[in-house]
Amino acid sequence: MKRSPSTPIVNLRLPVNTQGVDWICSDLHGQFPVLKEVLKEVEFNDQTDRLILLGDLIDRGPSSLETLSWVLSAPFCFSVMGNHELLFWASTYHPELIEKHLRLGGEWSSSLSLTGLAPIKPDTDTPLNCCLS
């Protein structure tokens, strides 16, 4: 698939982790208790290790909000936006997508209040183009 030149890509280059281990995980789907258990099992060190998440942090599982809050506040955690996060974000701007998000496991978000929250905006002046099929 050819990418349009107007579509921004955030390219974050992490320096080599010489102090600890880089762990990569995907598709948490709100299973925060399971993540915590696995990190404990592998003796994850939040002072030296890094956790790189490949999207789909939310929806389907019982702890989507807790998962998202933890990821956003953990300085050792890096993540890309998966299709579930994109749909959650897009539905705040396009109400016609709310029903689709709910069908895909987003019922946890129906009780959230977005009042007073700053809009999420890419760190670029280039318009964000996305496709939700």
Show which residues are catalytic: 84
Residue written as tokens 């955030």?
10
d(CA 86, CA 82) in angstroms, rounded, equals 6
Residue written as tokens 């709310």?
98
Pull the structure tokens for residue 107.
């019922």
d(CA 132, CA 83) in angstroms, rounded, equals 8
d(CA 43, CA 41) in angstroms, rounded, equals 5
Among the listed residues 130, 92, 104, the one whose alpha carbon sits nearest the alpha carbon of residue 4: 130
